[in-house]
Amino acid sequence: MEKPFTIDINCDLGESFGIYKIGNDEEMMKYVSSVNIACGFHAGDPSTMRKTVSLALQAGVAIGAHPGFPDLQGFGRREMNISPAEIYDITLYQISALKGFIEAEGGSLHHVKPHGALYNLAATNGEVAEAIARAIFHLDKQLILYGLAGSRLISEGKKLGLQIANEGFVDRTYNVKGQLTPRTNPNATITSEELALKQVMKIVKEQKVVATTGEEVSVEVDTICIHGDGEKAVQFAKMLQRQLTNNQILIDSIKKDGSN
């Protein structure tokens, strides 16, 4: 009997700030297996971090830190000219802060996934990728590093002996190199729910995506990201869960021994 397909579905949450509310975190947690919680630099604040951690522990989802550039106004999506040494520092600082909230609530940190421009920069810049991976390694060698499938972040994590998780995206388009289309491009995101679901199925079952050029590109994916801040985010998460379940695909977090 064939082993059933299993995939981790992750979502970026905890992005509210002060009186400003972004997304419906509690509802989204019903349809995903792991969450990445903002650590206060690109989004979130201490109270939001604590509340989101509490909700995640109640929901039984794996909890990850989501460190980004110190760019609240730009939501961490603007690249900043920061040295690898400082990237190490801001990564370690943010992960440590969230880890403290999780442990105070009786839980444990599962993984780390950089956010936005920091994530994209680490996908191609070896020095940045190494700084992030080293910060994770020095804090807790058992943490799983989430990064774009086939990226420098993944390879630098492997060099240090970290467990890695190759990530794919539901609603982002890819170029022929398997990289995400920059958000500055008009075709960077997939707005059709039908096309997004189709991309997920291709990623999970075939480990491939169709690039913006129409060519098929191979991608090794362990986890798939859905975004929780869209107007129809919860509705789409329900559809995705139903689609995967109807196709006998299990949704489960990545286990620390390396297997789903």
Characterize 94-110 residue by residue with b for buried, 16 or more Cβ atoms within 10 angstroms of its Cβ, and e for exposed.
bbbbbbebbeeeebebb
pLDDT at 1: 41
Residue 1 lies in a domain: no
Residue 163 lies in a domain: yes
Residue 182 lies in a domain: yes
* Residue with token string 């509690």: 26
pLDDT at 259: 46
Q: Which residues of the chain have pLDDT under 50?
A: 1, 259-260
Structural domain containing residue 39: 6-251
pLDDT at 38: 98
pLDDT at 132: 98
Question: What does DSSP say about strands 208-210 and 216-218: parallel, antiparallel, or unpaired?
Answer: antiparallel
Query: Which residues are paired to 7 by β-bridges?
Result: 251
Residue 131 lies in a domain: yes
Residue 39 lies in a domain: yes
| CATH code, domain with 129 | 3.20.20.370
Summarize pLDDT for 159-175 with one digit per residue, the tens: 999 999 999 999 899 99
* Residue 32 Ramachandran class (φ > 0 left, ψ -120 to 50 alpha, else beta): beta
Query: CA-CA distances (angstroms) from residue 160 to 63, 130, 164?
Result: 22, 9, 10
pLDDT at 5: 87
